[in-house]
Amino acid sequence: MRSKPTTPIEQRDDTLNNARISIYTDEAVQREMWRCHRHGAATEALARRDGLDVARARILLARGRYQRIKSWPLAPVPNDDFQRATAAREQSIIAPTPVATKWSPRISPPPGLTPYLKSLYEVSLLTRDQETHLFRKMNYLKYKASKILTRLDPECPAERLMDQIEQLYEQSIVAKNAIIRANLRLVVAMSKRYAHSTKPFLELVSDGNISLIRAVEKFDYARGFRFSTYATCAIIKNFTQALSIERRDHTRFRNAGDEVFLTAPDQRTNLRADETAQIRRVVVIARLLERLDDRERLIIRHRYGLDAGHEPMTLQQVGDELSVSKERIRQLAKRAIGKLRQAAVEQGIDAPEDCLACEPKF
């Protein structure tokens, strides 16, 4: 038996019904509706635009909001303390960042910097306690948000729960940005080491900032290391890989006249080995410097030029920086070297006997 042919009106109705079904099920369409709503489009206007009643439009907007929330990086770095946190402990975790109790010198920016680089010196570095607090707070807020997310019904997510998730996520972003801002100078210092590449310096800084942001997301504060050690390794790895790709591409497009050099032995260093060795050195130095207080650490860094892009400073220059006499700087540096020797022995670090006795001759 032949089916009755559909009329043009029936075909139009079928097309509209199929379009509505697509709207109900297509996550991309739902996210687009929510995006328009966030930018000021009224629910009634969106319902009229897509041929829906207001109740169904609200459901689709809620689903679109849920899809947006689900795309956020809410997975925290795991920590068993989060599951056992009491109400009092939670208040301690999400409290404002503690005020620094240790002396922290303010470093003046070198002359001739761009406004962006100069602005980085206006942000104080974080103490160990402040850093630990911010990382714990950021990850705990994400932990709570991810727990609430599992309670949402994708088909009809509760507005109240989504409000809570958004508030928790926004607070975690505030903590994350505080960590990032305090470490942007580290990116600049590391970028100076690779300024010989063909990339512009500010492009290196931009790439390093991306590595820094990724490092903040992955850092486990519970292991006891300072974040600067972890971030330095991540930035070095990113820069080294980028240089390897740059060198490979340069070799690939080498012209025919360069082929004569193929018979000569390759005198270039192994970038992967260099990267591994540099990361080891950074980690060892950071572990040793942790044994010093803030002032001693600053003196050793300035005196021996440990910061990237900086030459060793004289006793007088370091004294001027800290507003003390150069003789006092000599005494503090000698005491710090003694602590470093003891730390090297305790940690079983294999170093030459005179490694820490190389006092600059100025």
pLDDT digits (tens, 9 = 90+) for 118-169: 888 888 889 989 999 999 999 999 999 999 999 999 989 999 999 999 999 9
The overall average pLDDT reported for the chain is 80
Instruction: Tell me, yes or no, whether 3 lies in a domain.
Output: no
Instruction: Tell me, yes or no, whether 23 lies in a domain.
Output: yes
Burial degree of 24 (CB within 10 A; 0-12, 13-18, 19+): middle
- What pLDDT does residue 4 have? 52
Instruction: Tell me, yes or no, whether 24 lies in a domain.
Output: yes
Shared domain for 56 and 86, answered yes or no, is no
- What pLDDT does residue 12 have? 47
- What pLDDT does residue 21 have? 46
Shared domain for 177 and 206, answered yes or no, is no
Distance from C-alpha of 186 to C-alpha of 232, rounded to nearest angstrom = 8
- What pLDDT does residue 118 have? 86
Q: Final residue of a domain: which of 148, 182, 216? A: 182
Instruction: Tell me, yes or no, whether 33 lies in a domain.
Output: yes
Instruction: Tell me, yes or no, whether 188 lies in a domain.
Output: no
- What pLDDT does residue 30 have? 81
- Buried-exposed string 109-130: b where 16+ CB fall within 10 A, e elsewhere: eeeeeeeebeebbeeebbbeeb
Instruction: Tell me, yes or no, whether 296 lies in a domain.
Output: yes
Shared domain for 162 and 112, answered yes or no, is yes
Instruction: Tell me, yes or no, whether 40 lies in a domain.
Output: yes
- What pLDDT does residue 250 have? 58
**Residue that the structure tokens 């009229």 belong to:** 48
Distance from C-alpha of 126 to C-alpha of 184, rounded to nearest angstrom = 12
- Smallest Cα–Cα separation from 100: which of 134, 125, 137? 125
- What pLDDT does residue 353 have? 45
Q: Give every residue of the chain whose pLDDT is below 70, as ranges.
A: 1-25, 102-106, 197, 245-279, 307-311, 349-362
Distance from C-alpha of 136 to C-alpha of 78, rounded to nearest angstrom = 10
Shared domain for 310 and 233, answered yes or no, is no
Shared domain for 317 and 359, answered yes or no, is yes
Shared domain for 329 and 243, answered yes or no, is no
Shared domain for 175 and 204, answered yes or no, is no
- What pLDDT does residue 258 have? 53
Task: Count the domains in the chain.
Answer: 4
- What pLDDT does residue 137 have? 97
Range of the domain at 285: 195-254+269-290
- What pLDDT does residue 224 have? 84
Instruction: Tell me, yes or no, whether 2 lies in a domain.
Output: no
